[in-house]
Amino acid sequence: MKYTLLALLVLILTGNSLHAQDNLVQYVNPLIGTHKMGHTYPGATVPFGMVQLSPETDTIPYEVDNHYNPLVYKYCAGYQYDDPTIVGFSHTHFSGTGHSDLGDFLIMPSVGKLQLNPGTEQNPKSGFRSSFSHSNEVAAPNYYKVKLDEGNIVAELTTSNRVGFHQYTFPEAGQAHIIFDLIYGIYNYTDKNVWTFVRVENDTLITGYRQTNGWARTRTVYFAMTFSKPIQQYGVKDFSNPHVYKGFWRKFDQSKNFPEAAGEQLRMYFDFNTTAGEAIKIKVALSPVSTTGALENLQAEIPHWNFEKAKLAGQQQWEKELQRVQIKAGTRDDMVNFYTALYHTFLGPTTYMDVNGQYRGLDQGNHAASNFTNYTTFSLWDTYRALHPLFNIIQPKRNSDMVQSMLAHYDQSVHKMLPVWSHHANENWCMIGYHSTSVVADAIVKGTFQGDAMHALNACIATSRHGSYDGIEYYMKSGYVPEDKSGSSVSKTLEYAYDDWAIAQMAKKLNRQDIYTEYMKRSQNWKNVYDASTGYMRPKLSDGTFRKEFDVLSTHGQGFIEGNAWNYSLYVPQDPEQMIAVMGGKKRFVQHLDSLFTMNLPDEFFAHTEDITRDGIIGNYVHGNEPAHHVAYLYNWTDQPWKTQERVRMILKKQYHPAPDGLGGNDDCGQMSAWYIFTSLGFYPVAPGSDQYALGSPAIHSAILPLENGKTFAIEVKNQSDKNVYVQKVTLNDKPLTRLYLTHEDITKGGKLVFYMSAKPRK
């Protein structure tokens, strides 16, 4: 609370009462990004919460071992805005990913004839599915409401960190069913389950777990579910394959009210007699450790049955977190874009620990987190770029805990590696690089990491020397990853080189000169894949020659991943100056960048591009994927920094808008949104691990950042407008800022940054 009070004090002292926004939650629209590629979910959650309780609209058919099934991709968040039906509400969701998992414990209310199959989108009445209309839908932080057309049931969802709270209002008197589907899961409907186990402990309490083999290979989620009134009757149907052993359980009549079930594929129902307008409330607590842990979470977080109280408590948490950046902007749309982006950045990494500190580790054993909150879901190839750097400013305590969580992962790793892409006690190895090292380095260089820094450095070193991982052996031997040994070799080489530079920065700070020297040398490896004859980074073979086949526009089989040679060739964030020199000098580089943003691509290009639509691309600049996120800022290293200002304002306008299809690509666990926040504020961390932020062009009118250290950093933008995108002058604490960057200390020691804007570039 301290910083909020201080912030208010600053507000009062500066007389800028316009900043005293007491309701930022109103600007968040969780529906943004739910249409097409954004892959966000509209449901209820609290900041960094373990539970993400959200509607499911998909009907993915089961297809054996086809993890590239396009529907799998489409339903990463379980919900697509243009779908006409809802099949239920489940408790765990990724925000903005490009791959699928989770979707645990689907609950769906229904009336009339009991149906235990989900039904189809075309004929929802054939199952427990229901059609719905967006006009009957409300999505807000920690609150989701929808009217289900079948039975006119009003569904409302809210949460605490570890508890999902459902409220289903049945308009007519009669028998209400609550379907509890333990089969449903994102990414396929029927065959991710390894095992499920359920007990009806008494007439209001159910416990159990489910174990899945999905993107997380060996994952178990425990639950404790409680009803607001006693169950009238209940039952379970086992859809398991015949080889699931039933044994002497057959001697029981298990058709109804039998309190224990286990198998691969279970669906349950719970019946209640309801009066007209009566609400059945359900609380579902999760735990990564045990049903006892889930029960403890339930009792600690929501011991009552007051839905409004729970909703309000979570919205107050959101308000508190959103107040970490208090902006003023030109339009309500700008406010909505900004605070929805900030909301998206605070959706993860998510809490992965019971209230008692217990969590499941990567070794599948249970551990106790000592002095930190254990987090999970690290989409590091995305989030090292801007999300974790943003946290180093506005969530430093949490970011330190996230680094601690990554180190716990390392300690538990049989590979002795920091996470690559990890979630729910599992490493899924998605994407490339060892970008944990960047996150660790950035936190250490910026002084936010509170743990054992030397241990952290050693973890980074071990990870970056792990020869058997993704071409590192060749990279260490030859200075590049040969394309004939390991695909996407150019992307890997470039990213390893940057990560190595980050390790060097951390080593320097920790006075490990030997490591600094070694890794600064490794950080030069990007030069080994630069082909001067074409002016692009290019795949090189083991024999040292560049591969002959080379298409600078395609992203498939060209030595890159989620980016073509055009975009990826600009990926030397640790040393833009050298890169520009190598690529022919500043003048030529400006022309090169200009053509990136302005070239006209043929339609077939988009047919073969991953993860993004035409909306996610400006010219050949791909904002919908991450590798070029720093690129617009590279003009700062030329003689035309005003082009950075121009481009970033254009990207903000073109790539983000306050509608369900408002995100041009996956939000990627907040990275796309973190780019929005930084860029809107007027600066960006081109090379995390450096203490510098490249200046751009702020899109807001003003901002106040009440920091955790009690200081406040304020930004004021004079003469702001959609046309005045060019920065004429910048002052820091009333003194002219003559450099094109801000340092981390400039922010953390508190102060005031003023941008003077103009419609004309300052050339």
Residues that bind its own copies (CB under 8 A): 64-65, 67, 191-192, 194-195, 197, 199-201, 207, 209, 211, 213-215, 217-218, 242-249, 251-253, 258-260, 262-263, 290-292, 363-366, 414-415, 421, 428-430, 468-470
Closer Cβ to its own copies, 70 or 365, answer by number: 365
Residues 6+ away with beta carbon under 8 Å from 36: 80, 613, 615, 661
* CA distance linking residue 254 with residue 236, whole number of Å: 8
* Nearest approach, Cβ of residue 245 and its own copies (Å): 5
* Nearest approach, Cβ of residue 213 and its own copies (Å): 5
Which residue has tokens 């999905």?
A: 214
Is the Cβ–Cβ distance between 706 and 14 less than 8 Å?
Answer: no
Closer Cβ to its own copies, 88 or 263, answer by number: 263
Total Cβ atoms within 10 A of residue 762: 12
* Nearest approach, Cβ of residue 710 and its own copies (Å): 42
* CA distance linking residue 758 with residue 720, whole number of Å: 8
* Nearest approach, Cβ of residue 250 and its own copies (Å): 9
* Nearest approach, Cβ of residue 669 and its own copies (Å): 16
* Nearest approach, Cβ of residue 257 and its own copies (Å): 8
Closer Cβ to its own copies, 244 or 737, answer by number: 244
Q: What is the sign of the dihedral through the CA atoms of 52, 53, 54 and 55?
A: positive
Closer Cβ to its own copies, 26 or 292, answer by number: 292
Where are any strands of DSSP class E within 571-689?
Answer: 617-618, 621-622, 683-684
* CA distance linking residue 360 with residue 293, whole number of Å: 11
Q: At what angle do helices 489-509 and 436-445 cross, to 10 degrees?
A: 30
- Pairing, β 751-758 against β 712-718: parallel
Closer Cβ to its own copies, 213 or 733, answer by number: 213
* Nearest approach, Cβ of residue 709 and its own copies (Å): 39
Q: Mind giving me the DSSP string for 681-739? A: HTEE-SSBTBSEEEE----SSEEEEE-TTS-EEEEEEET--SS--EEEEEEETTEE--S
Closer Cβ to its own copies, 206 or 507, answer by number: 206
* Nearest approach, Cβ of residue 323 and its own copies (Å): 38
Closer Cβ to its own copies, 209 or 589, answer by number: 209
Is the Cβ–Cβ distance between 697 and 732 less than 8 Å?
Answer: no
Q: What is the sign of the dihedral through the CA atoms of 722, 724, 726 and 729?
A: negative
Which of 83, 56, 86, 228 is CA-nearest to residue 147? 86
Residue 323 token pair: 């107040």
Closer Cβ to its own copies, 248 or 370, answer by number: 248
* Nearest approach, Cβ of residue 49 and its own copies (Å): 24
Closer Cβ to its own copies, 181 or 191, answer by number: 191
Closer Cβ to its own copies, 262 or 601, answer by number: 262
Closer Cβ to its own copies, 485 or 654, answer by number: 485
Closer Cβ to its own copies, 415 or 654, answer by number: 415
Residue 178 token pair: 């609550």
Is the Cβ–Cβ distance between 550 and 558 less than 8 Å?
Answer: yes
Which of 380, 357, 360 is CA-nearest to residue 370? 357
Closer Cβ to its own copies, 125 or 485, answer by number: 485
* Nearest approach, Cβ of residue 420 and its own copies (Å): 9
* Nearest approach, Cβ of residue 551 and its own copies (Å): 23
Burial 62-98 (b: 16+ CB within 10 A, else e): eeeeeeebebbbbbbbbbbbebebbbbbbbbbbbbbb
Closer Cβ to its own copies, 209 or 526, answer by number: 209
Closer Cβ to its own copies, 290 or 758, answer by number: 290
Is the Cβ–Cβ distance between 626 and 381 less than 8 Å?
Answer: yes
* Nearest approach, Cβ of residue 296 and its own copies (Å): 12
* Nearest approach, Cβ of residue 291 and its own copies (Å): 6
* Nearest approach, Cβ of residue 264 and its own copies (Å): 8
Closer Cβ to its own copies, 295 or 386, answer by number: 295
Closer Cβ to its own copies, 248 or 304, answer by number: 248
* Nearest approach, Cβ of residue 191 and its own copies (Å): 5
* CA distance linking residue 229 with residue 236, whole number of Å: 19
* Nearest approach, Cβ of residue 581 and its own copies (Å): 34
Is the Cβ–Cβ distance between 497 and 578 less than 8 Å?
Answer: no
Which of 308, 335, 349, 350 is CA-nearest to residue 29? 335
* CA distance linking residue 385 with residue 96, whole number of Å: 16
* Nearest approach, Cβ of residue 59 and its own copies (Å): 19
Longest dimension (CA), the chain: 86
Residue 663 is classified by DSSP as B
Closer Cβ to its own copies, 238 or 531, answer by number: 238
* CA distance linking residue 636 with residue 533, whole number of Å: 26
Which of 402, 423, 431 is CA-nearest to residue 98? 431
* CA distance linking residue 132 with residue 153, whole number of Å: 10
Residue 10 burial class via C-beta count within 10 angstroms: exposed 0-12, middle 13-18, buried 19 and up: buried
Residues 6+ away with beta carbon under 8 Å from 256: 233, 234, 235
* CA distance linking residue 275 with residue 146, whole number of Å: 20
* Nearest approach, Cβ of residue 314 and its own copies (Å): 29
User: Which phi and psi (to 5°) does residue 221 adopt?
Assistant: -120, 125
* CA distance linking residue 317 with residue 311, whole number of Å: 10
Total Cβ atoms within 10 A of residue 756: 17
Query: Cα separations (Å) of 582 from 161, 359, 563, 630?
Result: 50, 49, 21, 18
